[in-house]
């Protein structure tokens, strides 16, 4: 009896303890279930992270493949040819092609310089990041393009990358408080010239960074610091737009590639043959007669706009005959405030080096006529160069050159 009573007593006394243990186990089970749920959430998040990381890695790898920093493309490197004939509206497409070639040729420098700009000012760092992000797209578009028109969808990316590179690297100044700009002088020497050549699409910089008309730039702290850049005609023109590049309204003064030049029947009255031979490799060993033929081939051209002015109905039709205008077509560069002048590329050939510098033998020809969109409302905007004026300028040039020679200041 005593023994039995003792066992029952122990069993009764152990019941609360067992219930406590069960309750504790339930609590532990709840904790474990919550931990399992958390682990499942972490596992799901980890899977999503890994998926995103793999996608990002694939995109980065794709970007590296598109960039190809060390693999040259022989079909797109080397010398280029400016089309002699451009359809209406194709000039802007050809300008974009030159810009794309500049980005392609300078791709390694752009790729290397962008990271160093990220740590600078906020605006500069943001634009460097944007340029680095857009570079693969710009390069891919150029690699796959079969014509200039194919680049149009990537036009904004190409311009943004080139603008950043020119503004922050290639055409950048250490200080903007002195003149002359030593960096620009150094750039001219790097391009093999004593002075900077006319600007080309390779020098494109977006307008908010440029001083293009009476201090017209909207980002003073980021101002380029000089006027050596390419200001492209807007793609969307306002009704009645007129090009003001003849000392008119600077707001409508733009750089442009121009097609439609027509060959002229003419002759050479005077030429500095020794100087021409020293400047142009094609002329070395040529006779004076051969140099004359070369000059006519390269420089005797008249703009489409001027030809229209000489045709019936034009404002010059009753003044000058158009009989000397022959067939053929040619393209040239028309720079800001160039007025009646244009720059022809010898043989229509040009190259772009690995820093994006435009390289070509050029002839700046005065009196070749006005642009087809030029404002010719003033009688002074004739587009031509009178014979007396031309001979006087030639005399002044020879006088100044002789003085420089006597003082030992010429590069001859």
3 pLDDT higher than 50: no
Residue 365: both structure tokens together? 């020809």
Structure confidence at residue 187 as a pLDDT band (50, 70, 90): confident
Q: Are residues 372 and 329 in the same domain?
A: yes
The predicted-structure confidence for 32-61, as pLDDT tens digits, reads as follows 777 777 777 777 776 776 666 566 445 444
Mean pLDDT of the chain: 84
Question: Residues 190-202: pLDDT tens digits?
Answer: 887 778 999 999 9
Instruction: Decide if 147 is inside a domain.
Output: yes
Is the residue at 187 inside a domain?
yes
Run of H or E including 140: helix 122-144
Residues 314 and 381 reside in one and the same domain: yes
- Domain for residue 237, yes or no? no
**397 & 255 share domain:** yes
Residues 127, 212 share a domain: yes
Same domain, 307 and 402: yes
H helices present in 257-341, as ranges: 273-279, 288-299, 304-310
| Residue-wise pLDDT tens digits, 238-294 | 888 999 888 677 888 999 999 999 999 989 999 999 989 999 989 999 999 999 999
How far is 300 from 385, CA to CA, in rounded Å? 13
Strand order through the sheet with 256-263: 301-302, 256-263, 330-334, 341-345, 362-366
Has residue 5 been placed in a domain?
Answer: no
What's residue 147's pLDDT? 92
Report DSSP letters for 378-398, one per residue.
STT------HHHHHHHHHHHH
Residue 74 domain flag: no
Mean pLDDT in residue range 79-83: 92
Strand order in the sheet with 349-352: 79-81, 349-352, 358-359
Q: Is 81 within a domain?
A: no
In the chain, the number of structural domains is 3
């Amino acid at each position: 009896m005593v023994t039995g009573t003792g066992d029952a007593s122990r069993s009764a006394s152990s019941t609360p303890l067992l219930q406590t243990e069960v309750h504790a186990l339930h609590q532990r089970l709840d904790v474990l279930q919550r931990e399992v749920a958390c682990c499942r959430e972490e596992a799901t998040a980890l899977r999503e992270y890994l998926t995103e990381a793999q996608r990002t890695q694939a995109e980065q790898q794709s970007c590296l493949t598109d960039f190809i920093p060390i693999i040259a493309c022989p079909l797109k490197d080397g010398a280029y040819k400016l089309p002699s004939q451009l359809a209406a509206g194709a000039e802007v497409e050809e300008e974009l092609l030159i810009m794309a070639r500049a980005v392609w040729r300078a791709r390694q420098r752009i790729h290397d310089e962008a990271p160093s700009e990220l740590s600078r000012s906020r605006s500069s760092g943001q634009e460097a990041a944007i340029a680095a992000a857009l570079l693969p797209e710009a390069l891919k578009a150029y690699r796959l393009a079969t014509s200039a028109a194919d680049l149009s969808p990537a036009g904004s990316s190409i311009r943004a990358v080139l603008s950043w590179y020119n503004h922050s690297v290639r055409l950048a100044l250490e200080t903007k408080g002195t003149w002359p700009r030593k960096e620009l002088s150094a750039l001219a020497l790097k391009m093999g010239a004593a002075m900077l050549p006319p600007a080309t699409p390779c020098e494109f910089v977006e307008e908010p960074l440029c001083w293009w008309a009476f201090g017209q730039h909207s980002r003073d702290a980021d101002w380029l610091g000089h006027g050596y850049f390419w200001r492209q005609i807007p793609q969307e023109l306002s009704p009645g737009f007129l090009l003001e590049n003849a000392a008119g309204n600077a707001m409508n003064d733009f750089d442009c590639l121009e097609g439609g030049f027509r060959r002229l029947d003419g002759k050479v009255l005077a030429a500095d043959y020794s100087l021409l031979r020293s400047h142009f490799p094609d002329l070395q060993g040529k006779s004076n007669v051969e140099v004359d033929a070369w000059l006519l081939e390269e420089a005797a051209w008249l703009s489409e706009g001027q030809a229209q002015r000489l045709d019936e109905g034009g404002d010059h039709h009753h003044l000058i005959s158009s009989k000397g205008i022959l067939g053929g077509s040619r393209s040239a560069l028309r720079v800001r405030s160039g007025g009646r002048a244009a720059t022809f590329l010898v043989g229509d050939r040009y190259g772009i080096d690995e820093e994006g510098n435009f390289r070509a033998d050029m002839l700046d020809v005065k009196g070749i006529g006005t642009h087809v969109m030029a404002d010719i409302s003033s009688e002074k905007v004739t587009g031509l160069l009178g014979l007396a004026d031309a001979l006087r300028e030639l005399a002044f040039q020879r006088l100044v050159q002789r003085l420089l020679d006597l003082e030992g200041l010429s590069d001859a």
